[in-house]
Structure 1
Amino acid sequence: MQNISVFYPGWRVRVYASSPDISFLQSIMKNWTFVNFCDIDNLPPPIYSVRFYPVTMWRFAPLGDDQVDVMLSRDLDSEILKREYDAVSEWLNSTNKSLHVMRDHPGHCVTILGGMWGIRVTKPSERRRLKIIRQEMFKSVFNERSTRDDQTYLKIKLWPEFNTDFIAHDSFCCDEYNDSSPFPTRREDGKYVGASIFGSESPSDEIVTWECHPICRPENHTDWEYC
């Protein structure tokens, strides 16, 4: 949360949880006034509740929300790095693309990772479209418990709608996804976007030691072996 307050001042964080969990979380996060806790059984219509959907898809509830113009989907156990912030800033300030995707590890070679993407709304028709996508995704997974449904349905439902209106920052998978862009800043200390820093089995899980392929490097920084 400290990094969020530094890199994303003025943004709101939504945490979706059940009432008992919210009571606990509020007690340990009471100093973070930018955090909103959303009761999964008391959400505004037309959602009302996400209890019967996989927990990894609760975070998709803001899609099409009338109060949300820009949404970032992140894992709670991942550190917010300046590297991520720089990529998000390039997306929002230097492009007009609606969808933002990041892949920053050799294991990230999927279309959209559940905790490494964002979307912005610039006109009412896009908001309506996102509401429909959200409804279709939730309808498809009702009463399912798989924690990998999020990436499956992002690929099936969201990607086809925005596959010509996106920017993907990619440091390892650009040979597979050749419409990718390099991260704008160099990797520091092996850290990568999306690393699980709270549930990792060893410190080595939190860093990447592979050199990135030359085609994944910025054109003006082909010397960045660790891009």
Structure 2
Amino acid sequence: MEGPTHMKLAIVTAGLTQPSSTRLLADRLAEAVRRRLEERGEAVDVRVVELRELAVDIAGAFVAGFPNARLRTAIEEVTRADGLIAVTPIFSGSYSGLFKSFFDVIDNAALEGKPVLVAATGGTVRHSLALEHALRPLFAYLRAVVVPTAVYAASEDWGGGGDAFTDGLGARVTRAAGELAGLLEHRAPRRDDAEEVVPFEQQLAALRPADGKVR
């Protein structure tokens, strides 16, 4: 009997302070996704990329034209993962410059087809639409598959239960985590080794009708 599929989940967080509400939200989302997947029998390996620690490396990549070893390792954590949670603080109505710069140094085809949950933090709910007019278009351009529910946490969301018109933060986290877990569960697991090369004759044989006649 085969063991559980080993999923790789990458977390990119662009919080600048320590402690950071952005990192707190990222951890809360990661835990919710991990819990949902483990309930379904999936083993999960979670890797966190703290952009605050890579700020100089990211700037250097723009000047040098290529990432150094430490930044390259972080990029590989993201591009090789089965799924991604990307969380940024909102500055001036959009994602942070550090967040955008990190994804600028990643090849624009490296996230193609990857399930992504986008989230953000900010001081006021007025910035929540940045998820739709900034983050979602960014990952659509990168041809990632963004889950329907984006999670925004304003200062008043921490510890709040929502109101008659909106779900509380906990409900949004749970719903978004379920959507990402669902996409990951139906995504073919990555193989770290090179894919087996199928001989051309075998590929042709698979296309022939069952009676063996050429149409």
Interval of TM-score (by shorter of Structure 1 and Structure 2): under 0.3
TM-score computed with the length of structure 1 as normaliser: 0.25
TM-score computed with the length of structure 2 as normaliser: 0.26
Which has the larger helix fraction? 2
Q: Could you say which structure has the larger radius of gyration?
A: 2
